[in-house]
Amino acid sequence: MYSTTLDITQIRADFPILQRQVNGQPLVYLDNAATSQTPLAVIDAISDYYKHTNANIHRGVHALSQEATDEFEAARQKIQTHFNAAKAHEIIFTSGTTHSINLVANGFASFLEKGDELIVSELEHHANIVPWQMLCERTGAQLKVIPITENGTLDMSVYADLLGARTKVVFVNHVSNALGIINPIEEIIEKAHAVGAAVLIDGAQATPHMVPDVQALDVEFYTTSAHKICGPTGIGALYGKEAWLRKLPPYQGGGEMIDQVTFEKTTYADLPHKFEAGTPNIAGGVGFGAAIDYMNNIGFDAIAAHENDLMRHATKKLKKIEGLHIYGDVENKVAVISFNVEGLHPYDIGTLLDKMGIAVRTGHHCCQPIMDHFQIPGTVRASFAFYNTHEEVERFIAGVEKAVGMLR
């Protein structure tokens, strides 16, 4: 018997978009791994900022500037507390996880030599592959890859063999955006540290479902994007250990990140401003903080339990469909189901589901190496959030059954 501790009716009332129709049908939104929806509390926080506080930060002595600065820095402190960073200035505001990874990869160009080694996994989003490939091209470093097994998990025995004295950085995702698999990042971090390597964890897909403790993980860098956790687009955060952030050179030059500027020499501002050139997405930061508050008020344990119930129910029903194969069908995963049906293209299934008002993602999910590993063009991906319902799962299952029947 299905049950949840969440007041789903009240929660869904917080999300106006969930009340709309698509193609004449009530919307069933199952593309949460791409972006979550935004509650009124976050929309109102952003609107209130523009209505009552809008001003540039850190630069003005007038009241609005000081109020805007206070709101923006309060959001930074909320993120610090949420991820248990030791200091607020270890939280760098970025435009999102892609920006954060590029910032770190660019900085490591100062520390790498030809023949140094970087380790990535086969499970990565392109955003955690391409910046490091570009870095290797600039420095002559070598990129090594942790392969995945047939069920989509990382081959940790190969990882152990890849590590060595020349390993400088290991970068993996906490959760696979394509398959939903939770990676053993504690073991990955510990083994990397044993050879003196730094670690960056792409947390974009983990943070909607759990609360990582960056100090307990002892990780050098951890990234997140607000739009995955009920916040606005165009804002994210990079956690970095203070010692590493002080070593890395600035990623961009301009206003805010400077101490003194002359035509002979420029000196840089202290953390976190060293990495926050230009006027930031102030309203986005305020919205990010409101999203953290909103999700913590609901409770991440309750969120995870509800989402996992939905995933398990959907998985059980999908497996009854003839010819349907789920990729990454393992126990330790978040609420993502990535699947194909034999003889059918995922795009065609996704298109028919859209006609029924059901939003899923199709394609390679910016994870082409995973699809190449399984020798498939892509998958249909259904990703669940805490505001999804048991009834929506039933509509999704019926929709897949109908689409398969129409296409066969």
> What residues are labeled active site?
366
Separation between Cα atoms, residue 235 and residue 97, nearest integer Å: 9
Separation between Cα atoms, residue 97 and residue 94, nearest integer Å: 8
Query: Tokens at residue 268, please?
Result: 């840089």
Q: Which of 295, 333, 306, 321 is nearest to 405 (CA)?
A: 321
Query: Of all residues in the chain, what percent are helix, strand and coil, respectively (each to 5)?
Result: 45, 20, 40
Burial label, 243 (beta-carbon count in 10 A; 0-12, 13-18, 19+):
exposed
Q: Which of 39, 53, 117, 118 is nearest to 283 (CA)?
A: 53
Determine contact, residues 286/45, Cβ cutoff 8 Å.
yes
Determine contact, residues 131/373, Cβ cutoff 8 Å.
no
Alpha carbon 366 to its chain centroid, in Å, reads 13
Query: Tokens at residue 273, please?
Result: 């401003």
Separation between Cα atoms, residue 382 and residue 205, nearest integer Å: 14
DSSP secondary structure letter of residue 275: G
Beta bridge partners of 382: 337
Separation between Cα atoms, residue 256 and residue 254, nearest integer Å: 7
Q: Position of tokens 């770190």?
A: 104
What 3-state class would DSSP assign to 102?
helix
Separation between Cα atoms, residue 172 and residue 198, nearest integer Å: 12
Query: Tokens at residue 18, please?
Result: 């969930």
Element spanning 339, H or E? strand 336-341
